Amino acid sequence: MRVTLLSYTQNAERLCAAAAHSCYSGSGASELMQEEDEGRIERRLRAPLSAGHHSVIEHAAFTFSIEGISRASSHQLVRHRIASFSQQSQRYVKMENADYVMPESIGRDEEAASRYRELMDRIWEEYRFLSERVPKEDARYVLPNACVTNITVTMNARELWHFFELRCCNRAQWELRAVADEMLRQVQEVSPSIFSNAGPPCVSRGRCPEGPLSCGRPRNDLRKRGGLGVSAGSEKD
Ligand SMILES: Cc1cc2nc3c(=O)[nH]c(=O)nc-3n(C[C@H](O)[C@H](O)[C@H](O)COP(=O)(O)OP(=O)(O)OC[C@H]3O[C@@H](n4cnc5c(N)ncnc54)[C@H](O)[C@@H]3O)c2cc1C
């Protein structure tokens, strides 16, 4: 699996701060964008965000290429509706080779792994047979959840906060959690003020909302205090 941050809003913090402050200023965002004082930029962002006006970080967008994840995992990714997706089509692209994800739990068990590989080889054999006779869009019905796919995804910073809360959580499925962890690492590099406190609720809010379903293992590995202290939470404007 490979995650690449393809493109992102330059000066995301400055842009969101200018947009936020334009609500309360006689000046327009074009003038406010000239602001160079980092402390002022941070204060202009912190105020609306701590008041729950999270729409101001929707102005910053981030686009990733996610390659080699399973269809099982991409199906969960595309449930996030406030995002844009472009996914490799099994109607047009022939899945020539047996490219699939093997879960670690299966790989650790020698016999299970061997049966799994045999099954995948057999599935692809039938797929290739079918795709010589019927359209690819019909042959693909035999392909498994494990089949890999490539997908391009764009989310704004607010949606990314929400996505990280759900998918960096230990309760999330392991493969999508690995994708989300890597996306978080990459956006923290380019927009540290916006994302340094992002992550599952045990990181972003300092508490777990899962009640009896809580894993009881806070993700301290993701804790990077020091950003804007945005809590995407469940507050709505
Ligand atoms: C651990 C885990 C287990 C899961 N198990 C299941 C399962 O068993 N079955 C299953 O079907 N799904 C399951 N899901 C998927 C889950 O129910 C959501 O579909 C998915 O996480 C997307 O979340 P979302 O709707 O909050 O996010 P998004 O679609 O990204 O939306 C972001 C936010 O925008 C708002 N929003 C978006 N669309 C609407 C709308 N139409 N109306 C009102 N507000 C809206 C909401 O505030 C929402 O939280 C699971 C998810 C997780 C993390």
Site to substitute for ligand 1 among 75, 77, 79, 177, most atoms within 8 A of C-beta: 79
Closest ligand 1 atom, residue 162 Cα? 32
For residue 62, the tally of other CB atoms under 10 A from its CB is: 24
**What DSSP state is assigned to residue 85?**
E
CA of 151 to the centre of ligand 1 (A): 19
Tell the residue nearest (CA) to atom 19 of ligand 1.
Answer: 79
Asked whether residue 50 carries a pLDDT value surpassing 90, the answer given is: no
The yes-or-no answer on residue 167 being catalytic is yes
Tell the residue nearest (CA) to atom 37 of ligand 1.
Answer: 81
Give the start-to-end residue ranges of the domains of the chain.
2-86+149-222, 91-146
Q: What is the pTM of this model?
A: 0.94
Above pLDDT 70, what percent of the chain? 96
Q: What is residue 237's predicted lDDT score, i.e. its pLDDT?
A: 28
CA of 81 to the centre of ligand 1 (A): 8
For residue 70, the tally of other CB atoms under 10 A from its CB is: 23
pLDDT in tens, 101-148: 999 999 999 999 999 999 999 999 999 999 999 999 999 999 999 999
Q: Which residue has the tokens 């995992």?
A: 73
Helix (H, G, I), strand (E, B) or coil at 25: coil
- The confidence band for 193, taking pLDDT boundaries of 50, 70 and 90, is confident
Residues with CB under 6 A from ligand 1: 79-82, 159, 162, 166, 171-172
Q: What is the mean pLDDT of residues 4-22?
A: 96
Asked if 181 and 66 touch (Cβ cutoff 8 Å), the reply is: no
Q: What is residue 169's predicted lDDT score, i.e. its pLDDT?
A: 97
Helix (H, G, I), strand (E, B) or coil at 70: strand
Closest ligand 1 atom, residue 76 Cα? 15
For 2-86+149-222, CATH gives: 3.30.1360.170
CA distance from start to end of the chain: 36
Q: What is the mean pLDDT of residues 219-229?
A: 79
